Structure 1
């Protein structure tokens, strides 16, 4: 039998492989799992000079997969931008931007990841940013990337005049006189990003290095980058070929409204053909069906229930969906849909059902991401159609974005199905957990804690669970980050469980998250992270 180059002993291994679910030792050869068993059995497999690591009884799991994350763009934002995540008022944002601007000679000042619940059209505009940066263009983006704001200089530099039309599916917010306030909604954000000075590609490489190090520190060895275009593919290919990636990257390529189906499939197929490295490949097509409830751009079956009322249209017309989804499904792409409102969720399911009827069933594992609102009639359709529910549990707790921004606009009846994770699982939906970083933390243990408790961390607030009947259990969450995540990304033949022959991607934790108090899970530290048997964070 092949000899091991690495043996880990004295571990509490949960392999996520039902054939050998538990073990105390692991042997690795050629970067892959050689065997699982007892300490004595695995020691016997050690080759001459093999490294033997003592886990000291700690929990060892397969490496986690974040199946909806913006790794490259998020990392780059942190390289070039002021960090506004702690800003809860305009004055706090101004202070952070002033401090950042004083330390850089960049021509443009960027800021990232402010909360759209704290800073929005009611208290944020170009005049606020002019206070922070009066002499250079300033462009800040909310954590959800559906909102942004410009100062007066940036409005001028980007050529946004009183008569500049809104881009399709986007809005330049204007005051009563018709002048741009600086606030941007939806596709207006990307319109401005396309026209701003484009960074050097080295900055994007630096951003990926920063982001993957953060991911490794939190036990993540695989990601699905939830929106890529040509530049993303170039950067990932470059890093994969040079051996610089420390996470396995799969990706979903953006499809825009109005793009003819044949043209869209050809374009995304070219990206797929250009991205076939073992550490990086494009396998999926990404569609935004709506926006976010904070902007009143979430598409609902029935109008909003508050005093303002109204609704938001789907970003893709039903007739276009009926052509695009079967075309991408026939070309054997996975389909990945951003859907916040219950109408967006239904439209995605309808499109996937049409594709299945036209092309026949196959293990596509199409994704619907977010699912903030869902009509109960659509819950069983996930299992019926083999659609993956890709959810971000950190958002499902009693905080302002839910209690003040979401519940009032849908009313008490529809509010019972906000982030209805347990209802989906009870209906046998395949579910994966993810972060949507940089919208929120990528720390999977903070996310698992919220999935299990539906409460903020103890240190932040001692409030009741939000819809406690929708809580998940720890084992289900871990599966949603490991084997089910790998299955959902079409890579369970290579990773997702510690099965002999698969890559030796694993993590060692400082506590047993299956037995510790639920409200301590978020404090979990990753002692070490290994990719193909090589430590990429920490060690034991």
Structure 2
């Protein structure tokens, strides 16, 4: 028998394999788990060339999967933009942006990741940005990716005027006289992007390298890029062919409401054929069914409950949703639907039901991402339809975007069903945990802590738990980042657990998260990340 390439000994390995749930050592051969057992059993397999890693008694887990983040765009945006995530006042935003502008002479000054729970049409406009960057076009994007703002120089550069019509599923905020204020909602941000200098493929490739290194450092070995087009596929394919990917990348291709069903399926079929490799593949179709509550583009079953009232329409008609879902399901694509409002969640479930009725059941594991609001009548439909609730638990806590925006907008009765993760789990739904980076951190341990506590970290002060009855357990969270996430990404036969024959994707942690205080889980550091037995991160 050929000796293993690597053995891990003196470890506490939680394999997520029910047949061998907890072992002390494992062996890796050819990038895959070759054996599980005790230290003595595994050490007996070693040969002269076997690398031995002594874990020092530390906890080892399968590599985590983030099933909804923006790898390529987020990485590239992080590399070129001022980081506005810490700004909590207009003065702080201006100081950070102005300081960043002074560091370079590029034609455009870009900023990213501002908090739309604080900055909106009441305190953000072109004049605010003019004070920080008066001499060049400037554009900033919110962390949620659904809101942006440009300064006066940018408004002039892109030719935005009072007469410019709103793009499909987008809106230019205007003052009482009809002039653009600079605020951009939804696809209005893409309208501006199309009129400013485009990054090169090399820029985007560098963004992928940045993002995957950041992910590896936090224990992530599987990623799902949550909205891709032809350029994304081209860049990923190049990196995959060069052996430059250090995480397994899945991607979901964005569908626009203006496309015909036949045209959309044919286009995504071409992307799938161009991306079928072990390290990168397009396997699903992405639908933005609504926007976000922060800019009042979330689609609710009943109107908003705050003083302004109103509501938002679905971004696809119900007939379009059903027709597209049926067609993509028939072509054996997974559906990946963005749904914030309870109407968008219901529409996604209705579309999946239509696909099931037309095509029969198969293990598609169609995913509904975010599920910020859900009508309780729809909770059992996830399990009945085999739909995955792709959730971002970091948002399920008392902070301005929730307590000052979402709760007043939906009212007290519907607020009970904001981020109702325990209710979904108890109703039988499969939960896959994710981050939506760069909307928020991709650190899974910070996210797990919040899923368990429903509170911000203790370092941010004392906060009441946000509907503590919706808390998840640690075991459910780890399952949501490993076996469930792998199944939802159609790779449960290859990853998600440290089972013999599967890829040796594993992480070694600095603490036992099963034994420590839940409020300390977010401080966990990843000491080692292996992808197919190859080191891609070491602390």
| TM-score normalised to structure 2 length | 0.99
Q: Which residue of 1 aligns with 2:516?
A: 516
| Structure 1 runs of 4+ with >3 Å offset | none
Give, in angstroms, the shift of residue 98 of structure 1. 1.2
Give, in angstroms, the shift of residue 99 of structure 1. 1.1
Unpaired segments of 5 or more residues in structure 2? none
Q: Which residue of 1 aligns with 2:139?
A: 139
Provide the secondary structure at the position in 1 that maps to 2:329.
helix
Matches within 5 A, 1:374-413: 374-413=374-413
Provide the secondary structure at the position in 2 that maps to 1:404.
helix
C-alpha deviations, 1:243-294, integer Å up to 9, x for none? 1111100000000012110000000110111001110000000000000001
Query: Which stretch of structure 1 is more off in the superposition, 32-41 or 82-91?
Result: 82-91
Residue pair 2:9, 2:39 contacting (<8 A) in 1 also: yes
Q: Does 1:168 align with 2:176?
A: no
Aligned mates of 2:232, 2:99 — CA distance in 1: 30
Give, in angstroms, the shift of residue 97 of structure 1. 1.3
Aligned mates of 1:464, 1:97 — CA distance in 2: 33
Give, in angstroms, the shift of residue 461 of structure 1. 2.1
Q: Which residue of 2 aligns with 1:122?
A: 122
Give, in angstroms, the shift of residue 87 of structure 1. 1.1
Give, in angstroms, the shift of residue 306 of structure 1. 1.0
Give, in angstroms, the shift of residue 48 of structure 1. 2.0
Q: Which residue of 2 aligns with 1:209?
A: 209
Q: Does 1:225 align with 2:225?
A: yes
Q: Does 1:59 align with 2:46?
A: no
Q: Does 1:82 align with 2:82?
A: yes
Matches within 5 A, 1:160-309: 160-309=160-309
Q: Which residue of 2 aligns with 1:358?
A: 358
Aligned mates of 2:301, 2:375 — CA distance in 1: 8
Give, in angstroms, the shift of residue 121 of structure 1. 1.0
Provide the secondary structure at the position in 1 that maps to 2:412.
helix
Residue pair 2:373, 2:419 contacting (<8 A) in 1 also: yes
Q: Which residue of 2 aligns with 1:71?
A: 71
Give, in angstroms, the shift of residue 118 of structure 1. 1.6
C-alpha deviations, 1:445-475, integer Å up to 9, x for none? 0000000000000000211211000000001
C-alpha deviations, 1:128-154, integer Å up to 9, x for none? 111111111101000001100001111
Aligned mates of 1:141, 1:337 — CA distance in 2: 22
Give, in angstroms, the shift of residue 323 of structure 1. 0.9
Give, in angstroms, the shift of residue 308 of structure 1. 1.1
Q: Does 1:499 align with 2:530?
A: no
Provide the secondary structure at the position in 2 that maps to 1:284.
strand
C-alpha deviations, 1:59-114, integer Å up to 9, x for none? 00000000000011110011111111111112111111111111112111110000
Give, in angstroms, the shift of residue 47 of structure 1. 2.3
Give, in angstroms, the shift of residue 2 of structure 1. 3.4
Aligned mates of 1:411, 1:90 — CA distance in 2: 28
| TM-score normalised to structure 1 length | 0.99
Matches within 5 A, 1:422-501: 422-501=422-501
Aligned mates of 2:167, 2:395 — CA distance in 1: 29
Q: Does 1:104 align with 2:143?
A: no
Provide the secondary structure at the position in 2 that maps to 1:49.
coil
Query: Which stretch of structure 1 is more off in the superposition, 196-205 or 341-350?
Result: 196-205
Aligned mates of 2:53, 2:436 — CA distance in 1: 34
Provide the secondary structure at the position in 1 that maps to 2:183.
strand
Q: Which residue of 1 aligns with 2:48?
A: 48
Give, in angstroms, the shift of residue 3 of structure 1. 1.7
Give, in angstroms, the shift of residue 5 of structure 1. 0.9
Q: Which residue of 2 aligns with 1:11?
A: 11
Residue pair 2:118, 2:401 contacting (<8 A) in 1 also: no
Aligned mates of 2:467, 2:94 — CA distance in 1: 36
C-alpha deviations, 1:505-533, integer Å up to 9, x for none? 00000111111111000000101111111
Provide the secondary structure at the position in 2 that maps to 1:347.
helix
Q: Which residue of 2 aligns with 1:158?
A: 158
Residue pair 2:137, 2:152 contacting (<8 A) in 1 also: yes
Give, in angstroms, the shift of residue 421 of structure 1. 0.2
C-alpha deviations, 1:411-431, integer Å up to 9, x for none? 111111110000000011001
CA RMSD of aligned residues (A): 0.8
Aligned mates of 1:133, 1:528 — CA distance in 2: 42
Q: Which residue of 1 aligns with 2:113?
A: 113
Aligned mates of 2:460, 2:303 — CA distance in 1: 34
Aligned mates of 2:308, 2:101 — CA distance in 1: 39
Aligned mates of 2:464, 2:323 — CA distance in 1: 45
Provide the secondary structure at the position in 2 that maps to 1:195.
coil
Query: Which stretch of structure 1 is more off in the superposition, 85-94 or 382-391?
Result: 85-94
Q: Which residue of 2 aligns with 1:368?
A: 368
Residue pair 2:276, 2:282 contacting (<8 A) in 1 also: yes
Provide the secondary structure at the position in 2 that maps to 1:79.
helix
Aligned mates of 2:290, 2:148 — CA distance in 1: 17
Give, in angstroms, the shift of residue 240 of structure 1. 0.7
Give, in angstroms, the shift of residue 156 of structure 1. 1.0
Aligned mates of 2:438, 2:489 — CA distance in 1: 20
Aligned mates of 1:245, 1:24 — CA distance in 2: 30
Provide the secondary structure at the position in 2 that maps to 1:516.
coil
Residue pair 2:286, 2:336 contacting (<8 A) in 1 also: yes
Q: Which residue of 1 aligns with 2:325?
A: 325
